[in-house]
Structure 1
Amino acid sequence: MRVRRVVTTRAGGASRPPYDTFNLGDHVGDDAGNVYANRKRLAAELGLTEDRLAWMEQVHGRTATVVDGTEPAAAEATDALVTDRPGLALVVLVADCVPVLLADPEAGVAAAVHAGRVGARVGVVPAALTAMRDLGAEPARVEALLGPAICGECYEVPEAMAADVERHLPGSAARTRTGTTGLDLRAGLWRQLADLGVGRIGADPRCTAEDKTLFSYRRDGTTGRIAGITWLEETA
């Protein structure tokens, strides 16, 4: 199967400041009609019907939920969606957290993961990989994309917090541009994926706090959400 991956920006939507303009988050205070219009446009731009987009109620945990497209609403209280159904696009929303898009094209299994500081610390990515394996995926065949997120030079945290996350997610401790303690979650997740045997790992280098074409909670406070989307297409 062919794997499709898309990362949105904040441009081209209906939302007004401070959600301008292509906000896809329905939980951030934006007008519901504008969010609906943006999600409808997203589906159209992807060449999918609206019911082929799978959403989740992200809670910064480590639950991975298997979906098949028959669900009537967003998956509740989960931070990873997993499927083996072609044409079902899995959506993760972020504004500094790491969107992790996973797929085993041979097995026909994909996952979209919301990996913020808490979720990454408690193991949401390994949980997603376990759910993928239950559907027939193998880590060595899995392709991973770590999407845009706040970088280690911008993500300042207290020293104790950085040390705690580093214990659970080795490789994530960093120094900010000003020399204070920070976190580079993508670096830690890259190492974790490699340690779990994932065959191919790539990263979008953009920092959400630095790139104003992206939403950033750290930079702006009240703001919208971009999306990482992945789905599988059957090949002839």
Structure 2
Amino acid sequence: MSVEALTHPLLAGAAHGFLGRRGGVSTGELAGLNVSYSEDDPALTAQNRALAVAAVRPGGTLQTCYQIHSADVVTVAQAWADADRPRADALVTDRPGIVLGVLTADCAPVLFHDATAGVVGAAHAGWKGAFTGVCEATLEAMEALGASRANIAAVVGPCIAQKSYEVDAVFEARFLEQAPENARFFRAGRQGHAWFDLEGYVASHLRDAGTGKVGMLGEDTYAQEARFYSFRRATHRAEAGYGRQISLIGLAAG
């Protein structure tokens, strides 16, 4: 099975892809294109990462972060060794040949592109990162490289959908304290619980921050076992590991 790389027309000018688990070499519970080193044979993970880059930007140099559910962003001016990757949750660059990657397993990956300025970005937007401003921080970092917020297109990739994301009352209260209008991202569920729309919440932050164009793929990681890894699904099944997928973006080859 070949690698599946989902794309979006808003990012058509960049080399990009939201990848899932199809087309990789990992086996067992992690079968497919697992790109996490923490749960798999490192040789298989390295091979999967190479397959992912080849499917999106052949010959590109992959750069990722050690993700910590923060709003921290790094600017990639030159490639670093994987062992030296910084602790952050978003990356931006204006360097040809660099491919930015973020890993997810229910959190929302967001890819950014300013075609006029030649700047790209990638963010890992779990609820914590989105809540504390990782999307806004990514836009600011892109602007520091010459991008214009009005020219930036951003797309929210595969993540856990509202129908699959049950949260408790404490979780919901945190968002309502941030802004009462956040109530629109919650649908009432059983007593003391609600269903949270992570994708809509992230997209709203992007729009409110003045992003020129915002898109969403509308793909539920939890509900599509054959296509995506899911932390929550694996947890509900008491599986030993859950794997990660990767979303990639780089400037198109000239």
Fold shared per TM-score above 0.5: yes
Q: Structure 1 counterpart of 2:244, which letter?
A: R
1:187-226 matches, cutoff 5 A: 187-212=200-225, 213-221=227-235, 222-226=241-245
The superposition leaves residues 44-99 of structure 1 with CA deviations (integer Å, 9 ceiling, x where unpaired) of: 3334236x111111000111000023322353210001101122110011010000
Cα displacement (A) at 1:166: 4.2
Name whichever structure is richer in helix by fraction.
2
Comparing 86-95 and 39-48, the one that deviates more: 39-48
Cα displacement (A) at 1:43: 2.6
Indicate the percent of aligned positions where both proteins have the same amino acid: 32
The superposition leaves residues 115-164 of structure 1 with CA deviations (integer Å, 9 ceiling, x where unpaired) of: 00111111111111111111111111000110010011211111121221
SS in 2 for 1:113: strand
Q: Structure 2 counterpart of 1:14, which letter?
A: V
SS in 2 for 1:76: coil
Q: 1:5 aligns with which of 13, 16, 22?
A: 16
- Go from structure 1 to structure 2 and tell me whether the alpha carbon gap of 1:47 and 1:193 turns closer, same or farther (over 3 Å shift): closer
1:230 aligns with 2:249: yes
Partners of 2:134 and 2:94 in 1: CA distance:
19
Q: 1:164 aligns with which of 164, 168, 174?
A: 174
Q: Structure 2 counterpart of 1:16, which letter?
A: T
Partners of 1:42 and 1:118 in 2: CA distance:
27
1:125-204 matches, cutoff 5 A: 125-168=135-178, 171=182, 173-175=185-187, 180-204=193-217
Corresponding residue for 1:18?
29
- Go from structure 1 to structure 2 and tell me whether the alpha carbon gap of 1:146 and 1:7 turns closer, same or farther (over 3 Å shift): same
| TM-score of the pair, normalised by structure 1 | 0.91
Partners of 1:141 and 1:218 in 2: CA distance:
35
Give the gaps of 5 or more residues in structure 2: 1-11, 236-240
The superposition leaves residues 170-193 of structure 1 with CA deviations (integer Å, 9 ceiling, x where unpaired) of: 546322676841221211111111
| Conserved? CA contact 1:67–1:82, under 8 Å | yes
Corresponding residue for 1:44?
54
Partners of 2:211 and 2:76 in 1: CA distance:
22
1:115 aligns with 2:128: no
- Go from structure 1 to structure 2 and tell me whether the alpha carbon gap of 1:136 and 1:82 turns closer, same or farther (over 3 Å shift): same
| TM-score of the pair, normalised by structure 2 | 0.85
- Go from structure 1 to structure 2 and tell me whether the alpha carbon gap of 1:176 and 1:150 turns closer, same or farther (over 3 Å shift): farther
Cα displacement (A) at 1:195: 1.1
Number of matched residues?
233
Q: CA RMSD in A?
A: 2.0
Give the gaps of 5 or more residues in structure 1: none
The superposition leaves residues 171-218 of structure 1 with CA deviations (integer Å, 9 ceiling, x where unpaired) of: 463226768412212111111111111111110111101111111110
Corresponding residue for 1:70?
79
| Conserved? CA contact 1:153–1:175, under 8 Å | no
